[in-house]
Amino acid sequence: MSKLFVIGMGPGDLDLVAPKALAALKASTDMVAYGYYLDLLGDICHNKTHHDLPLGEEIARARLALDLAASGKTTALISSGDIGIYAMATLVFELLDQQLQGKESHPEWLDVEIEVVSGISAMQAGASKVGAMLGHDFCTISLSDLLTPWESIDKRIHAAGAGDFVVSFYNPVSKKRDWQLNHARDVLLKYRPATTPVMIGRQLTRPDEEITFTTLAELDAKDVDMFTMVSVGNSESRHIQNGEKNWIYTPRGYSKKL
Amino acid sequence: MSKLFVIGMGPGDLDLVAPKALAALKASTDMVAYGYYLDLLGDICHNKTHHDLPLGEEIARARLALDLAASGKTTALISSGDIGIYAMATLVFELLDQQLQGKESHPEWLDVEIEVVSGISAMQAGASKVGAMLGHDFCTISLSDLLTPWESIDKRIHAAGAGDFVVSFYNPVSKKRDWQLNHARDVLLKYRPATTPVMIGRQLTRPDEEITFTTLAELDAKDVDMFTMVSVGNSESRHIQNGEKNWIYTPRGYSKKL
Of B96, B128, B253, the CB nearest to A118: B128
Q: What is the pLDDT of residues A3-31, one digit of tens each?
A: 999 999 999 999 999 999 999 999 999 99
Of A135, A137, A164, the CB nearest to B84: A135
Q: Using a CB-CB distance cutoff of 8 angstroms, which residues of chain A are in contact with residue B128?
A: 82, 84, 89, 116-118
Q: What is the pLDDT of residues A92-116, one digit of tens each?
A: 999 999 999 999 999 999 999 999 9
Closest residue of chain A to B18, computed from CA coordinates: A18
CA distance B86 to chain A (A): 5
- Mean pLDDT of all residues in A226-247: 97
Q: Is B155's CB within 8 Å of A164's CB?
A: yes
B191: helix, strand or coil: coil
- Mean pLDDT of all residues in B201-230: 97
Q: Is residue B60 pLDDT above 90, yes or no?
A: yes
Of A23, A147, A251, the CB nearest to B253: A147
Count, in order, helices (H) and strands (E) of chain B: 7, 13
b/e sequence A117-154, b meaning 16+ C-beta within 10 Å:
bbbbbbbbbbbbbbbbbbbbbbbbbbbbbeebeeebbb
Of B137, B139, B142, the CB nearest to A142: B137
> Could you tell me the pTM of the whole model?
0.97
Q: What is the pLDDT of residues B86-142, one digit of tens each?
A: 999 999 999 999 999 999 999 999 999 999 999 999 999 999 999 999 999 999 999
Q: Is A128's CB within 8 Å of B84's CB?
A: yes
> How many interchain CB pairs under 8 A, A with B?
253
CA distance B7 to chain A (A): 10
> By the 8 A CB rule, do B85 and A121 touch?
no
Q: Is B94's CB within 8 Å of A255's CB?
A: yes
CA distance A100 to chain B (A): 7
Q: Is residue A52 pLDDT above 90, yes or no?
A: no
Q: Is A162's CB within 8 Å of B160's CB?
A: no
- Mean pLDDT of all residues in B141-168: 97
- Mean pLDDT of all residues in B169-183: 95
- Residue B256 — very low, low, confident or very high, per pLDDT cuts 50/70/90? confident
Instruction: Give start and end residues of each alpha helix (H) in B49-166.
Output: 58-70, 89-100, 122-129, 150-162
> By the 8 A CB rule, do A53 and A34 touch?
yes
User: Based on the number of CB atoms within 10 Å of its own CB, is A203 exposed (0-12), middle (13-18) or buried (19 or more)?
Assistant: middle
Q: What is the pLDDT of residues A113-151, one digit of tens each?
A: 999 999 999 999 999 999 999 999 999 999 999 999 999
